[in-house]
Amino acid sequence: MDILERFSKYIGFETTSSEESETVPSTASQLELARYLESELKNIGVSKVLLDPNGIVYGWIPASSGLEGKKALGFIAHMDTAPAASGKNVKINVIPDYDGNDVELPGGVCIGVKDFPHLKGLAGRTLITTDGTTLLGADDKAGITEIMTAIETVIRDQIPHGPLCVAFTPDEEVGRGADHFNVDLFGADFAYTVDGGPENELACETFNAASAHIQIHGVSVHPGDAKDIMVNAALVACELAGMLPASETPRYTQGYEGFYHLDSISGDVTQATMSYIIRDHDRKIFEARKKALADAVEALNKKYGEGTVSLTLEDSYYNMKEIIDHHPHLMENAKAVMEELGMSPEMIPVRGGTDGARLSYMGLPCPNLGTGGYAYHGPMEHITKEGMELASKVVIGLIQKYAQ
């Protein structure tokens, strides 16, 4: 199947995950794509396929004759799309021989070169966007497309390979993609997630990540009689936000710089809630960030009374570099494959996380490969057919490399 045709099929499935849901997967619609992928793996010749009760699709391809003793290699991508933007009724917009200039989408959105200077480098390719009313879903249906295309090619062309394992997970976008992943069942010695940005991207570093949920209890009385009595929960929330460094937010940080991100805030005089995500590549600074937030909460309780502000902190994942550094061949081989394909590998720190970050600490070393996509989680998301084709060739190259 042509890679664009396959990608178009996958983005037709609405698979938005939900942070509020307590079901597994978080949305039933993800199971529709899971069942389709289960069937497709069987149709392309994968000998053993399993859709488990948690919505994870596993597939296993036995080694070619004589290569049974090679290390088992895995590839993983996620099925869900981010709840930050609608993933329903995605209308694909294909621009052959793209000219490298601003793209005006039918929905009134402009993908501009000013904001996305890399667009100039995509000139001459087949650019893929939406109509501007939804996200595209390249994060991470492009990854699924590239893995599936690579596996189909390996089986069809009888490319020699060691034991191969593939998996497609739900709920990565809400931080639960690895919650029910069975590393022992999967059986890979090493794996790659295919869930990054440009096709030449190669990453073994993620943020350390934590979520913070804050509840503020105010005291509401008539404002005319409020002197030394009223505690305005909404204002306390604003005060708390002001106690954190204003320059250490996503808008002002890049590269290895961490941040505090106020993800949501709501409330009134009586009650207020805040949600933060805390990120840093450096583990010591990460721990210091969590302490700074806890210290701010403690200071407000001293000022307004114990119990005014409550904080729940929960670690989400850790920087996988601590694990990947013990397996340097993973990065060396991926870099070599990209160079053999005429690509210039770009090894960057991921300003986020992947299933691979969790899986690495679960015993499955798992760096991340690019998919060819850009501007994820919104209506300006875009990718190229050629980028997906190269990303799929990287997967094939790695399969060949580990068979040597």
Cα separation, 124 vs 138, whole angstroms: 20
Would the annotation count 217 as a binding residue?
no
Long-range contacts of 336-345 (CB under 8 A, 24+ apart): 336/401, 337/394, 337/397, 337/398, 337/401, 338/200, 338/202, 338/394, 338/397, 340/397, 341/390, 341/393, 341/394, 341/397, 343/199, 343/200, 343/390, 343/394, 344/200, 345/200, 345/202
Would the annotation count 355 as a binding residue?
no
Cα separation, 177 vs 314, whole angstroms: 16
- What is the torsional sign of CA 152, 155, 161, 167? positive
Of the candidates 8, 3, 135, the one whose C-alpha atom is nearest the C-alpha of residue 80 is: 135
Would the annotation count 329 as a binding residue?
no
Give 373's strand partners: 383
Cα separation, 356 vs 190, whole angstroms: 11
> Residue 263 in contact with residue 277, Cβ under 8 Å?
yes
Of the candidates 192, 174, 169, the one whose C-alpha atom is nearest the C-alpha of residue 79 is: 169
E-strand ranges in 233-282 read 259-267, 271-280
Amino acid at 393: K
Would the annotation count 222 as a binding residue?
no
Q: How far apart are the first and last CA of the chain?
A: 28
Catalytic residue among 146, 171, 172, 381: 172
Would the annotation count 139 as a binding residue?
yes
59 φ/ψ angles, rounded to the nearest 5 degrees: -140, 145
Cα separation, 109 vs 131, whole angstroms: 8
172 catalytically annotated: yes
> Residue 214 in contact with residue 310, Cβ under 8 Å?
yes
What strand order describes the sheet that includes 208-217? 259-267, 271-280, 208-217, 309-317
**Strand, helix or coil for residue 121:** helix
Cα separation, 140 vs 36, whole angstroms: 16
Catalytic residue among 14, 40, 80, 140: 80
Binding-site residues for Zn(2+) sit at 78, 139, 173, 195, 377
Q: Which residues are annotated as a binding site?
A: 78, 139, 173, 195, 377
Active site amino acids: 80, 172
